[in-house]
């Protein structure tokens, strides 16, 4: 009997964790933490590291859960999302709403008490931007949903910077611009090889409304914009030669992929670009961190 109760509790925890989209949240938290380290010459304060990281992670998870609540009918008709807890009937709307509110509330409280109020308010605005403005308003209304809604997804390094310094510096806005420019080619690659599912769900994603060729062209153009934007930190002194080399190599790889997709489309290549884009952003921010602390004091 006790083992069954433990198994049931474990299963329920897994269902709630599935709402949080942990792989997406992990990238959000990673870029936020990088923002914390880039904001200071040494190491961020301990309260910033633990409370800032945990608070941002909790609010991001809460936003993801709220997204699942709003999009459950759409998730039910798409192959990549139909196994989520709400479409399967494993969790109710009330349970999901309460979970999102409690987790998000704890995260905001941590930020306000142990970090600073600016980070708390910026994180709350990011939650509203993603969970409400993007998910409920933009996504079902316009094929430019990814472009406009990308602003909320680009906020994590700004949140990390604000947590470490209590202000928003122009270098933090450059980190914002990098992710903002990265978001369209990242998601349009996904939308291209999932275009039939988006059409079935009734979502006006760019490949559905404007066609495959138009989307491939804009994916290439935004990748070129991303390459240019990624070099801006060198101009402000936030990035040095290590970052410059890394940004050129990574960006060159991204543009090579996008050019190949533009010339000769295949679902397999679009899927490959989507995977590369995730690796690209993680590697770019990691190289920026290495450059920030190089040479390592001995």
Distance between CA atoms of residues 56 and 123, nearest Å: 7
> Which superfamily does 1-168 belong to?
UbiA prenyltransferase (1.10.357.140)
| pLDDT tens column, 8-50 | 667 888 899 999 999 999 999 999 999 999 999 999 999 999 9
The residue among 274 and 295 whose pLDDT is bigger is: 274
Residue 136, pLDDT score:
87
Q: What residues does each domain of the chain span?
A: 1-168, 170-298
Between the CA of residue 268 and those of 58, 77, 81, 244, 272, what are the distances in Å? 34, 22, 19, 30, 6
Residue 246, pLDDT score:
98
CB proximity list for 119: less than 8 A, separation 6 or greater? 52, 55, 111, 159, 162, 163
Terminal C-alpha separation, the chain: 58
**Res 296 pLDDT > 80:** no
Residue 296 is given by DSSP the state: P
**Res 7 pLDDT > 90:** no
The model's pTM = 0.93
Residue 258, pLDDT score:
98
3-class SS of residue 41: coil
Distance between CA atoms of residues 23 and 83, nearest Å: 16
* Mean pLDDT, the chain, integer: 93
Residue 118, pLDDT score:
98
The residue among 241 and 10 whose pLDDT is bigger is: 241
Tell which residue, 261, 234, 256, has the closest CA to residue 247. 234
Q: Can you tell me the mean pLDDT for 108-134? A: 96
Confidence band for 229, pLDDT divided at 50, 70 and 90: very high
**Res 221 pLDDT > 50:** yes
**Res 297 pLDDT > 60:** no
Residue 168, pLDDT score:
96
| pLDDT tens column, 91-109 | 999 999 999 999 999 999 9
Residue 298, pLDDT score:
46
Lookup result for tokens 């993801």: 64
| Radius of gyration of the CA atoms of the chain, in A | 20
| pLDDT tens column, 264-276 | 999 999 999 999 9
**Res 70 pLDDT > 50:** yes
């Amino acid at each position: 009997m006790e083992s069954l109760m433990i198994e049931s509790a474990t299963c329920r925890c897994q269902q709630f964790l599935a709402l949080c989209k942990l792989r997406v949240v992990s990238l959000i938290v990673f870029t936020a933490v990088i923002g914390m380290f880039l904001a200071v010459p040494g190491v961020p304060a301990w309260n910033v590291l633990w409370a800032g990281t945990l608070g941002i992670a909790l609010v991001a998870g809460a936003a993801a859960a709220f997204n699942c609540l709003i999009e459950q009918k759409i998730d039910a008709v798409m192959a990549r999302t139909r196994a989520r807890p709400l479409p399967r009937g494993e969790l109710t709307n009330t349970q999901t709403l309460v979970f999102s509110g409690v987790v998000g509330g704890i995260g905001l409280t941590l930020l306000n008490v142990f970090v600073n109020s600016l980070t708390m308010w910026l994180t709350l605005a990011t939650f509203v931007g993603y969970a409400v403005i993007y998910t409920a308003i933009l996504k079902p209304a316009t094929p430019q949903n990814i472009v406009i809604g990308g602003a909320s997804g680009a906020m994590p390094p700004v949140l990390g910077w604000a947590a470490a310094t209590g202000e928003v510096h122009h270098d933090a806005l450059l980190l914002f611009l990098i992710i903002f420019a990265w978001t369209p080619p990242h998601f349009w690659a996904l939308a291209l090889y999932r275009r039939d599912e988006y059409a079935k769900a009734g979502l006006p994603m760019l490949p559905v409304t404007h066609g495959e060729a138009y989307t491939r062209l804009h994916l290439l153009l935004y990748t070129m914009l991303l390459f240019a934007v990624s070099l801006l930190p060198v101009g402000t002194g936030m990035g040095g030669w290590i970052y410059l080399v890394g940004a050129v190599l990574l960006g060159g790889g991204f543009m090579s992929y996008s050019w190949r997709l533009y010339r000769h489309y295949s679902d397999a290549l679009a899927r490959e670009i989507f995977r590369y884009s995730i690796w690209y952003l993680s590697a770019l921010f990691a190289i920026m961190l290495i450059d920030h602390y190089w040479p390592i004091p001995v």
